[in-house]
Amino acid sequence: MVVVTGQSKVSGNPDDAMSSSDAEDDFQEPATPTATQAGQALPLLPQQFPEVVPLNVGGMYFTTRLSTLRRYEDTMLAAMFSGRHYIPTDAEGRYFIDRDGTYFGDILNFLRSGDLPPRDRVRSVYKEAQYYSIGPLLDNLEDLQPLKGEKVRQAFLGLMPYYKDHLERIIEIAKLRAMQRKARFAKLKVCVFKEEMPITPYECPHFNSLRFERSESETKLFEHHCEVDVSFGPWEAVADVYDLLHCIVTDLSDRGITVDHQCIGVCDKHLINHYYCKRPIYEFKITWW
């Protein structure tokens, strides 16, 4: 009977013997392929695109010319289909872009013939144009409503100190109160005032002249904080209190927050002599569900 062991028979010839270093080499892991070897396995060649390109954008199918996708050089689409980047394809061979394709048709229409979307899609197409970095389309859309009006509105809000911070404070206070009371809604008081100086009814017609005659020390006598949760103002612009209220409600609504408001009076704090604050105070009711 012949018994075979796991060890090799060592011959008497020293040259035939396996050194310890040779044994270690037998048990080493395969070496990492070199850059040359990797390049031979996966050649990094420029990707070639047909003249007519089938597209799959988030599951929606489109077909366009390659020249349309490359219309403007400094865009993401031109870079994607330049051949320098690999674009995967779906099972049908369409080039796949992992993006919602709802408004991609509007993107193609602009690249093809300069067509712009209808007003109700301007905001959404603008976001897609930002993603694809299509500067000419962005410039055109910014001159259309509602984006053009939004630029004017933002210019007005730029005069408002801490406007976004105050919006966040409204949301946080309303959320906290609703959670504490386990209620559907929460109420809070908001002061919105355009003029920094307090006025009295009979001072109104002469307000602009009187405000500049007051000394700095007199002005400080009028400084106070109304007993409200959040206070907006003052500002210097044609837009009035109702315009700012519209901005507040609009921006809260855009964040999915339902808000109602009504004026519940004015701040009646007595300041000095016959001067009272008289800033309007509004009650905001925010409904959470």
Q: What is the pLDDT of residues 108-117, one digit of tens each?
A: 999 999 999 9
| Per-residue pLDDT at 226 | 87
In DSSP terms, 236 is beta-bridged to none
| Per-residue pLDDT at 217 | 56
Q: Which residues contact 56 (CB under 8 A, 6 or more apart)?
A: 90, 92, 94, 95, 96, 97
| Per-residue pLDDT at 215 | 56
| Per-residue pLDDT at 144 | 95
What are the phi and psi torsion angles at 270 (to 5°)? -80, 130
| Per-residue pLDDT at 56 | 98
Task: Report, at the CATH architecture level, how domain 52-144 is classified.
Answer: 2-Layer Sandwich (3.30)
| Per-residue pLDDT at 70 | 96
| Per-residue pLDDT at 64 | 97
At 128, which amino acid appears?
E
| Per-residue pLDDT at 208 | 42
| Per-residue pLDDT at 79 | 96
| Per-residue pLDDT at 39 | 44
| Per-residue pLDDT at 138 | 97
Residue span(s) of the chain under CATH 3.30.710.10 come to 52-144
User: 224: closest CA among 267, 280, 273?
Assistant: 267
| Per-residue pLDDT at 210 | 39
| Per-residue pLDDT at 125 | 98
| Per-residue pLDDT at 47 | 82
| Per-residue pLDDT at 265 | 92
Query: Could you tell me the mean pLDDT of each successive run of 10 residues in the chain, 289 residues long?
Result: 45 47 45 44 69 97 97 96 93 96 98 96 97 97 94 93 94 96 95 72 42 52 78 90 95 94 88 76 96
106 contacts 121 by C-beta, under 8 angstroms: yes
Q: Which residues contact 191 (CB under 8 A, 6 or more apart)?
A: 226, 228, 230, 231, 232, 233, 267, 279, 280, 281, 282
| Per-residue pLDDT at 38 | 42
